[in-house]
Structure 1
Amino acid sequence: MNKYNLNGLTTKKAEENRKLYGSNEIKKTKTNTFLSLLIESLGDPIIKILLIALAIKLVFLFKDFDWFETLGILIAIFLASFISTISEYGSEKAFNKLQEETSKLKCKAKRDGKITLIGVDEVVKDDIIYLESGDKVPADGIIVKGDVSVDESTINGESKEAHKESVKKSNVEEKNKLYKGTTIYTGTCVMLTLKVGADTFYGKIADELKEKPGESPLRKRLRDLAKLISTFGYVGAFLASTSYLFSVIVVDNGFSLDRIIDTVSNFRLMMDYLIYAMTLAVTIIIVSVPEGLPMMITLVLSSNMRRMLKNNVLVRKMVGIETAGNINILFSDKTGTITTGKLVCNKIIDGSLNEYKKESDLKDDNYSKILKTSMVVNNQSMYDNDKVIAGNSTDRALLSFFKPFKVIGVKKIKQVPFDSKNKYMITVIDDLKIKNLIKGAPEKILPNCKYYFDKTGKKSLFLNKNRLERIIKEETKKGIRVIVLATSNTALETFFKDLVFVGAIFIKDPVRKEARKAIDLTQKAGIQTVMITGDNKDTAQQIAKEVGLIKEDKDLVITSNELNEMSDVELKKILLNLRVVARSLPQDKSRLIRVSKEMNLVTGMTGDGVNDAPALKRADVGFAMGSGSEVAKEASDIVILDNNFLSISKAVLFGRTIFKSIRKFIIFQLTVNLCALSISIIGPFIGVDTPVTVIQMLWINMVMDTLAALAFAFEPPLKEYMYEKPKKKDEKIMNSYMVSEILITGFYTTILCVLFLKVPFIKNLFLSNESFMTAFFGLFIFAGLFNSFSAHTSRINILAHILKNKMFIVIMAFIVIVQIMLMYYGGEMFRTVPLTLKEFLIMILFAISVVPVDIIRKIMCKKYGKKRSV
């Protein structure tokens, strides 16, 4: 008689237990409101500088034109913050939809003496829960009646089914326990609930994940860049305003001390000079501060997040997509990621050692009928139209070998389910020739098989048994699971005395077709992939070779035991050659992440189980599988909706595209920046007080910031990015290639502008000084425009893959149209007059010269430089 009370709880007692022991609801991470995300986005380092610049502009808001830039900065801050908030808020909403699936689950509980359906969150301690095949266990408890096989991969990462049975002794053992979040494969049972909510194993892991996420490598780089740019701008502003004052006070007075004193003594004149100098300084600071950068970063993140979702990659946190491109080492689960996670019949071998790899290999003979009957009838799975449902993964694999059909004339009388002790399953059928259908482990069935069925369905002496045993042994080493089918005509109690061999079924979790290609792609991208699996060492090594993880003798395969015997120092020595960890335990992942980060490697981790959650959280990028546990998804940065390793490589590509796009934009922006500052500083010393007016400078600022941000934000993901090594964790956002382009193009454009202003021959090509200064304004803009084509690609051909970014073409066309309108109709406000066709073409000829100069630089970089691209 069962010592546990199976009567269940009353509604009143259930409420008392809820108050006493707590709810079964796992407290989800607090969802950020739109407003809180918007406020948080204002903490971006570059936006902080923009806010300071805005404050300065508001203080000096006394010139007619100043409202234009003030409004521009406000719009830039608003757009950058607003767009990033929309993106993150949208991702949170998408993730919340995934979480809702769990809260909608129901289970069968005994309440008030009746079995009733209740929500999983309503389960309380001491509830009696009824479970069957396919059910998710709603809480932690013990089996008080029945036996089941359970998928515990969400808890321990093991794909192997665990056999659980009812409590028979006074002390409870592991085989009697069920855990929240696991799934019943086969059998039925009654569970007594012992722990709910946060007290469950599932809940305790979820509680570990509440630590605040760290700053991404990209954010750190941008923070440093913001400081550099602001310093650059402040120094430039000081030099420009000082040079202007020096020019109007000293140079314009011919260095005469008396005239200088007279000028300084003229209060009204000096106030005009000082106000203009301060206005110039503020303008240069505004031009220097890249208000387009945060907006560009947000746009590029948002656009790529949408692209990634179409590729089955859901970005939960922007930090994930920012960091994905820089991953150095990726720890990946095997089951469901590198393999399909779905068992299939690889082949069938009969008593004559004939192989059948697909249904069409079988002929319509008596042997095939016996084989089909054995596989389909002695099975707990079933056909539901074109699908195979119920049963365990092995049963489903057997049925999936055939197209759905119905066995006619065979009636099941009794079934003895498979258990871990006996290692076989028997189905007693109502048949004149065959009474029992048996399937089980080779070591249990084969020794008792004296005969086998030949093609005609007749019994023959089983002479190939020893050869078959050797084949099975070799296949088992490769990670293949083997099930042997047999029949018997004796009574159930003595069926082992008269076994006739039907066939050996070879079952495997096949490697995904695209896995080798995806792993090869990540290897070419400089990413070390380490496969984490619960398989034995031989099996793991075989799969690793099949997918291309192991290619050289130095590639290492170690077991969890071998890993635990190593000190951290020893592990660091072999880590870069590590390819597989076999027989892995949950704690192995966390240790591997910790040691990798200590080696300054950007780490990625895939996982689907509750036990994977802490490691997913600690990794620089955590990839959760779409079919995984909710705790794993919540801990992750990115959810791989199709569980496919290829999708992870796509995430890496998009991450690199983002970084490349940001670098391209910075090259373009700082090149224009350098030229604008240089001309503003040099101008007064060569007799041109204002080579570019403040209002022209503001239009230049809009071109190089807001409009360019839109143009570069939609750069396409190029396969060539996957042939580069990942960026180092401490690598600055500016590299030598970028510096060479900024300095060479920037200084060339500056020299070009100085020559344009000072060489009499050039000035004489224009009809008037007004048309000459109009052409200079056009030269500045069009030189920057042509440079944008050079900046968008590291190739010699500046039009390479240009059609893949239609937004770039649209924006550049818009700038051309507006610039021409300003030159011809800008009038006094923009200090422009209409140019003749000849004057316009001369200006374009000078401007386009930046292209061949940069082509020469690219050729030299490819030939001699260490860095050959952004």
Structure 2
Amino acid sequence: MKLKGLTEVEVQKSREEHGTNELTQIPPDPLWKKILEGFTDPMIIILLVALVVQVIMVCMGKAEWFEPVGVLIAILIANGVSSISEYRQENKASALRQEEEAKEMAKVLRDGNLKEIHVSEVVVGDIVFVQAGDKLPADGTIVEGNIRVDQSALNGETEEAKKGPNEKDEKFDKKDLLNGFYVYRGTVVCGGEGYMRVDEVGDTTLFGQLALEVQEDTRATPLQIKLGKLAKQISVFGYIGAGAIIVAVILKAILTNGSSLTDFWSWMTLILNAITVAVTVIVCAVPEGLPMLTSILLSFQSLRMAKDNVLVRKINGLETAGSLSLLFSDKTGTITEGKLSVVELATGNVKVYQKLSEMDKSLSLDVITGIGINNGAVASEGAIIGGNSTDRALMTFLVDSDAVNSMAKEDVKSFNAFDSAKKYSSVTIIRDGKSVTYIKGAPERIIERCTHYIDEKGQRKPLVERNYLTSYMDTQAGRSMRLLGVAKADGDNADGDLTLICVLSIRDNVRKEAIDAIKEVQNAGIQVVMVTGDRKETAVAIAKEAGLLTSKDDVALTSAELGEKTDDELKEIMPHLRVVSRALPTDKSRLVRVAQEMDYVVG
């Protein structure tokens, strides 16, 4: 199929019909507006009332001039410091975003020619050429080629998703990020190249919808709620206290000096004095320094975090983080290391190794050849370049084992990349003047063809008893391990009987510090829920190892199960919820909304 793309006339028509590819950015409030909004804070309102009263008392000669000046300074510091600090932080965040957006370009076909344009100029119907390293500019369908995509920007999972043309016109759900045909704005191409047809642009993309959602007005922080309650209590106390003081002063005057209250003016003088005493007592009870102190402390902390390269847009977020009662956490890169690692290797007789140095030299050489030379990744000066996530994990294992120099790549005769039909890749090398072919791939496909295995001493033996190996693989699968089989065969191809070298267990391991951190947070009374795009079996295994699933009352849901429940049903489950798997971005926003309706402080 010859792809030509849109003409300039079609581009203009599409832009008028579907809009531009720009994401709506809610501009930050100007400084003057932030300052004015600060005066609506309940505590600031009480201070303003106190200021007015102090000014009146100064005019009456009942107070010193510096008393209202002190209240005014407290108001200006409390409101000004927080407003100015937040305004500066928001401007820095806006500048960083604009700087990044200016670099985003896309390669599109226009009038049959490939052009590079800014992402904002992409329209619905455009044919975009994508290749490894490109960030996708819009949502759309792959029409030619095959690519692998990192969708962690949307679902938090670094496992690559394969995308290709929908040649059989299969039905699929666009909301399911793991479908094999539809790609999303903000995700990154890890490998391959192809063409996509743009179906959604701007705010209608999934990324755009999420961006709009996170810009919505936030709820009041716990401190703001507490200060609001305090302001209300001070007001009530003020009304009641002032009335009680006025009555007490008048009663005292009547009981001790009632004979002097003979005319209207004497009574007015008494009432005025009583009001003055009441107002003085109430004004003294107002904590003028509290709003000022909280603003200064939060602003100071935001500056300290900026020195650590942490940009705090809303300084009240610092206070909220210290009041959490429910923490939603991603899995990949937060609870786990965020990268695949080789956990262990097992021979055909289930002799398990964690390190290459523990193995017999000949067995070790077979493993190095089977996973190192038969690999799409390359080790260069300690860095791993190219390949998929599995190949990079295998090569990292060899680098950490100082085994890279043992790979005799000059002996390679031929290499065959991974074949999705055969479920393995292969490499043929010359060893001792003879051709030997090594293959790695799906263990169930490889082991069924194995007649022999290499034991822990490097000796080739018949593979008769397979139950132990099958049981071991089932156990590893239950631990959310990704299994990989490695075998070899004499000759230039792997069509005949195979000799099993090992079965590797690969996984995104739980971070050691994450287990301690989760325990510490739980001991502080904070509920932790892991929300991941991974499958349920893997999520549950990781959650158990991390200490999230410890009781039979703990609940793990999939995105589909979550979608079947009403908000009221979800509220009943929420205190026991520990894991949400296959989560969509919309699931995350719903979880936060429902939890906030239950008065959780959510992070």
Report if TM-score (shorter chain) is over 0.5: yes
Question: Quick one: which of 286, 296, 301 aligns to 1:299?
Answer: 296
Tell me the TM-score normalised to structure 2 length.
Answer: 0.84
> Could you list the per-position Cα deviations for residues 44-103 of structure 1 after superposition, in whole angstroms to 9, with x for gaps in the alignment?
111112222323334444249643122112211110111111332244245435534641
For 1:115 and 1:360, the matched residues in 2 are separated by 52
1:331–1:542 CA distance, 2 compared to 1 (3 A):
same
For 2:536 and 2:557, the matched residues in 1 are separated by 7
Mapping 1:455-534, distance limit 5 Å: 459-463=460-464, 465-490=466-491, 495-534=494-533
Aligned partner of 1:544 in structure 2 is 543
Amino acid at match of 1:182: T
Mapping 1:805-816, distance limit 5 Å: none
2:245–2:278 Cα contact (<8 Å) kept: yes
1:230–1:288 Cα contact (<8 Å) kept: no
1:347–1:356 Cα contact (<8 Å) kept: yes
> Could you list the per-position Cα deviations for residues 774-807 of structure 1 after superposition, in whole angstroms to 9, with x for gaps in the alignment?
xxxxxxxxxxxxxxxxxxxxxxxxxxxxxxxxxx
> Could you list the per-position Cα deviations for residues 641-684 of structure 1 after superposition, in whole angstroms to 9, with x for gaps in the alignment?
xxxxxxxxxxxxxxxxxxxxxxxxxxxxxxxxxxxxxxxxxxxx
2:107–2:116 Cα contact (<8 Å) kept: yes
For 2:37 and 2:56, the matched residues in 1 are separated by 26
> Could you list the per-position Cα deviations for residues 363-411 of structure 1 after superposition, in whole angstroms to 9, with x for gaps in the alignment?
6x34323322322232222224222233322121111112273544144
Shift of 1:433: 3.7
1:61–1:313 CA distance, 2 compared to 1 (3 A):
same
**CA root-mean-square deviation:** 3.7
1:97–1:502 CA distance, 2 compared to 1 (3 A):
farther
1:450 is paired with a residue of what secondary structure?
strand
1:456–1:522 CA distance, 2 compared to 1 (3 A):
closer
1:524–1:382 CA distance, 2 compared to 1 (3 A):
same
Aligned partner of 2:36 in structure 1 is 39
For 1:246 and 1:232, the matched residues in 2 are separated by 21
Shift of 1:344: 0.7
More strand by share: 2
> Could you list the per-position Cα deviations for residues 202-258 of structure 1 after superposition, in whole angstroms to 9, with x for gaps in the alignment?
2234344554323334323322211221332344445556666776x657xx6362x
Question: Quick one: which of 388, 395, 404 aligns to 1:392?
Answer: 388
Aligned partner of 1:119 in structure 2 is 118
> Could you list the per-position Cα deviations for residues 262-288 of structure 1 after superposition, in whole angstroms to 9, with x for gaps in the alignment?
8x7689xx86x7776665444334322
Mapping 1:238-277, distance limit 5 Å: 239-240=244-245, 255=257, 257=259, 259-261=260-262
Amino acid at match of 2:262: I
Bigger Rg, which one: 1
Aligned partner of 1:139 in structure 2 is 138
1:119–1:402 CA distance, 2 compared to 1 (3 A):
farther
Aligned partner of 2:68 in structure 1 is 70
For 1:440 and 1:344, the matched residues in 2 are separated by 16
1:147–1:189 Cα contact (<8 Å) kept: yes
1:255 is paired with a residue of what secondary structure?
helix
2:167 is paired with a residue of what secondary structure?
coil
Identity fraction in percent: 39
Segments of structure 2 that go 5 or more residues without pairing to the other structure are 173-178
Shift of 1:152: 3.0
Shift of 1:132: 2.5
Aligned partner of 1:286 in structure 2 is 283
Q: Greater CA deviation, 304-313 or 405-414?
A: 304-313
1:399–1:204 CA distance, 2 compared to 1 (3 A):
same
1:296 is paired with a residue of what secondary structure?
helix
> Could you list the per-position Cα deviations for residues 298-348 of structure 1 after superposition, in whole angstroms to 9, with x for gaps in the alignment?
223334445566788654434544444443333333222222221111112
2:372–2:398 Cα contact (<8 Å) kept: no
2:356–2:364 Cα contact (<8 Å) kept: no
Question: Quick one: which of 323, 340, 344 aligns to 1:343?
Answer: 340
For 2:209 and 2:571, the matched residues in 1 are separated by 30
Shift of 1:29: 2.7
Aligned partner of 2:175 in structure 1 is none
Aligned partner of 1:444 in structure 2 is 445
Aligned partner of 2:229 in structure 1 is 224
Question: Quick one: which of 93, 96, 99 aligns to 2:94?
Answer: 96
For 1:11 and 1:189, the matched residues in 2 are separated by 23
For 2:558 and 2:551, the matched residues in 1 are separated by 19
> Could you list the per-position Cα deviations for residues 709-749 of structure 1 after superposition, in whole angstroms to 9, with x for gaps in the alignment?
xxxxxxxxxxxxxxxxxxxxxxxxxxxxxxxxxxxxxxxxx
Aligned partner of 1:739 in structure 2 is none
2:242–2:278 Cα contact (<8 Å) kept: yes
1:484 is paired with a residue of what secondary structure?
strand
For 1:297 and 1:461, the matched residues in 2 are separated by 75
For 1:412 and 1:280, the matched residues in 2 are separated by 100
Number of residue equivalences: 589
1:448–1:496 Cα contact (<8 Å) kept: no
Question: Quick one: which of 183, 203, 208 aligns to 2:208?
Answer: 203
For 2:427 and 2:95, the matched residues in 1 are separated by 43
1:425–1:12 CA distance, 2 compared to 1 (3 A):
farther
Aligned partner of 2:188 in structure 1 is 183
1:88 is paired with a residue of what secondary structure?
helix
For 1:45 and 1:265, the matched residues in 2 are separated by 37
2:78–2:292 Cα contact (<8 Å) kept: yes
2:125–2:197 Cα contact (<8 Å) kept: yes
2:495 is paired with a residue of what secondary structure?
helix
1:563–1:241 CA distance, 2 compared to 1 (3 A):
closer
For 2:82 and 2:154, the matched residues in 1 are separated by 35
Amino acid at match of 1:440: G
1:150–1:162 Cα contact (<8 Å) kept: yes
Aligned partner of 1:165 in structure 2 is 164
Shift of 1:13: 6.2
For 1:190 and 1:561, the matched residues in 2 are separated by 31
Aligned partner of 2:176 in structure 1 is none
For 1:470 and 1:97, the matched residues in 2 are separated by 56
1:378–1:426 Cα contact (<8 Å) kept: yes
Tell me the TM-score normalised to structure 1 length.
Answer: 0.60
Aligned partner of 1:715 in structure 2 is none
Aligned partner of 1:602 in structure 2 is 600
For 1:128 and 1:10, the matched residues in 2 are separated by 11
Q: Greater CA deviation, 477-486 or 56-65?
A: 56-65
1:467 is paired with a residue of what secondary structure?
helix
For 1:97 and 1:481, the matched residues in 2 are separated by 42
1:192 is the counterpart of 2:197: yes
> Could you list the per-position Cα deviations for residues 576-611 of structure 1 after superposition, in whole angstroms to 9, with x for gaps in the alignment?
33333445555554554455455x34052xxxxxxx
Question: Quick one: which of 373, 376, 390 aligns to 1:377?
Answer: 373
Shift of 1:153: 3.9
Mapping 1:697-736, distance limit 5 Å: none
1:442–1:97 CA distance, 2 compared to 1 (3 A):
farther
Amino acid at match of 2:286: V
1:28–1:487 CA distance, 2 compared to 1 (3 A):
farther
For 1:430 and 1:51, the matched residues in 2 are separated by 88
Aligned partner of 2:364 in structure 1 is 368
For 1:265 and 1:564, the matched residues in 2 are separated by 74
1:100–1:497 CA distance, 2 compared to 1 (3 A):
farther
Shift of 1:434: 4.2
For 2:107 and 2:265, the matched residues in 1 are separated by 94
Aligned partner of 1:425 in structure 2 is 425
1:377–1:427 Cα contact (<8 Å) kept: yes
Question: Quick one: which of 379, 391, 397 aligns to 1:401?
Answer: 397
